Amino acid sequence: MDVKTIDAAKPRASAYRLSDGGGLLLEVKSSGAKIWLCRLTIARKRRDMGLGGYPAVSLRDARAKARAARELAQAGTDPIAEREAAERRAAAEREAASTAQARTFKAVADLYIAAQVPGWKGTRTAKTWRNSLAGHAHPRLGKKPVDEIDRAAVLDAIGPVWASRPATARKVLRRIGSVLRYAAAHGWRLNDNPADPRMLRHLGLPALPGGRKYPSLPWAKVPAFVAALHAREGLGSLALEFTILTGVRSGESRGAWWSEVMLDGVPTWTIPGERMKGKKASDVQPHRVPLSPAAISALLRAYNLANGASATLADLPRLAQLAGASLIFPSAKRTKPLSDMALSEVVRRMNAERSEEAPAPWRDADGRAAVPHGFRSSFRTWVDDTRPADAEAAERALAHEEPNKVSGAYRRSDLFDRRIPLMADWGAYCTSAPTATVTRITGAAPN
């Protein structure tokens, strides 16, 4: 048999075979496919071993394969069983490689985050997890099989950021530990904790300095700061003022909708539980915020600025109902709230501005530039220093969790009635005449 004979072989109604001698056969199927076979005698039984199809396997290669198979059979080895065993080994190796790839630290971290997302509110938490691990863990741990990660590997990953950015280092280390515990729970690694900072210190990693709290403007300077905000234009300044007057977190005020505001009776802003800070939305109750006259005034100015209107306080209840499903502090996209950076940028610019009348920037007692979140501490300190009897109401105003879990399970009052006069007094204080004169400028921040 030669190549011309093979090429000239045409399909018939039923399959037929051409012999090359030595047990090598070419089977021509009715479909036109041509398959090489080697006829062997194994354990006194005749068997046909497939060698591949033509022309993928040439005549020369088919003869070589047939010769090798005959030699194995003559030596007492079953070439068919040998090939099947080799195929099983190769499949097992591919599966092992695939499993190893599926159980790298990065792959397991992705699985862990995906498993936690239903219990996290929004997408921001998942995004921060992915970004921090991608920036500080995956470069050194990402491709490692999760069962091979030990304390030395964690030290190698966390070392570069440990001393330079302690707050980031703590978060990344906790997240690495969470991923490794998730892997251990699934039986993918030993149930140890190589991300334990106490053990890492024994390998030469220094103890982290204590975390510092958010820079907070002393409460005595808050009226001057709010007056300076009045001297500025833009929704960012108004959103920051509203945040200060209500004592909420900036994310809660930036995401406020008009439908959440009720201005009849006791003016109230109700923040849904899913927008409150908490481990799971189902665990967090809606937070009622009594709106002071100062806060309502800020809402009116926000409405007029966002809508190009000139409404009055008397118009606001009706307009708030009409605005309904729209943001109070929208970004340029209107359907998206202002970013967190928008409020931080307001304070940053105010700190960067100078004038002869007001040379001092807005800083805390240690000289650090104030940040939006720090005004919650300004409010809380004002309560401690001027009206300590309202401390518990202030904690409810800040929506802090009850530290005693057992007590918190029974104490469910939000002390709303006590918070009405408290927030009214805070609003009145914030908008009272500052100790320094503030004029409309593009720059100055008072002392």
> What pLDDT digit, counting tens, does each position of 196-239 carry?
766 555 555 565 555 567 788 999 999 999 999 988 889 999 99
Asked if residue 95 has pLDDT above 80, the reply is: no
> What pLDDT score was predicted for residue 82?
85
Q: List, for residues 396-434, the tens digit of each pLDDT value.
A: 999 887 655 545 544 567 899 999 999 999 999 999 987
Q: What is the mean pLDDT of residues 22-32?
A: 90
Q: Which of 42, 68, 101 is the last residue of a domain?
A: 101
- 303 and 389 fall within a common domain: yes
* Model pLDDT for residues 261-291, shown as the tens digit of each residue: 999 889 999 998 878 765 444 456 789 999 9
**196 within some domain:** yes
Same domain, 56 and 149: no
Q: How far apart are CA 447 and CA 436, in angstroms?
A: 7
pLDDT of residue 388: 94
Token pair, residue 112, equals: 């862990």
CATH code of the domain containing 259: 1.10.443
pLDDT of residue 406: 43
**pLDDT at residue number 442:** 33
In a domain, 51, yes or no: yes
Together in a domain, 227 and 189: no
pLDDT for 122 = 64
pLDDT of residue 275: 80
Does residue 326 fall inside a structural domain? yes
Per-residue confidence band for 356, with pLDDT thresholds at 50, 70 and 90? low
- Indicate if the pLDDT at residue 386 is higher than 80: yes
What is residue 281's predicted lDDT score, i.e. its pLDDT?
45
254 plus 126 within the same structural domain: no
In 3D, which of 142, 66, 130 has the Cα closest to residue 104?
142
Question: Sheet of 34-42: strands edge to edge?
Answer: 16-21, 24-28, 34-42, 45-54
Residue 100: the pLDDT is 53
pLDDT value of residue 417: 94
Whether 240 and 270 share a structural domain: yes
| Number of compact structural domains in the chain | 3
CA–centroid distance for 34 within its chain: 56
Share of the chain above pLDDT 70, in %: 85
pLDDT band at 97; cut points 50, 70, 90: low
User: The dihedral of CA 42, 47, 52, 55: what is its sign?
Assistant: positive
Q: What is the CATH number of the domain that holds 137?
A: 1.10.150.130
Residue 435 resides in a domain: no
- Is a pLDDT exceeding 90 seen at residue 376? yes
Q: Are residues 121 and 94 in the same domain?
A: no
**Domain end marker among 101, 130, 157:** 101
Is 308 in the same domain as 340?
yes
444, pLDDT greater than 60:
no
Q: pLDDT class for 437, splitting at 50, 70, 90?
A: very low
Average pLDDT over residues 7-24: 90
Residue 436 lies in a domain: no
Which domain, by its residues, includes 82? 3-101
Please write the tens of the pLDDT for every residue from 34-62: 999 999 888 888 888 998 899 999 999 98
Please check whether residue 443 lies inside any domain of the structure.
no
**Do both 97 and 110 map to the same domain?**
no
Q: Of 40, 74, 101, which residue constitutes the final position of a domain?
A: 101
Give the range among 192-201, 291-300, 378-387 with minimum mean pLDDT: 192-201
Do 170 and 248 sit in the same domain of this protein? no
In 214-311, the DSSP E strands lie at 261-262, 268-271, 287-290
What integer pLDDT is reported at residue 438 of this predicted model? 39
Question: What pLDDT, on a 0 to 100 scale, did the predictor assign at position 202?
Answer: 53
Identify whether residues 129 and 171 lie together within a single domain.
Answer: yes
Q: Tell me, what's the pLDDT at 193? A: 74
Residue 213 domain-assigned?
no
Q: To the nearest whole number, what is the mean pLDDT of the chain?
A: 83
Q: How far apart are CA 35 and CA 17, in angstroms?
A: 9
CATH number, domain of 20, equals 3.30.160.390
pLDDT value of position 188: 84
pLDDT of 377 reads 93
245 and 346 assigned to the same domain:
yes
Mean pLDDT of 185-203: 71
Look at residue 341 and tell me if it is in a domain: yes
Same domain, 78 and 53: yes
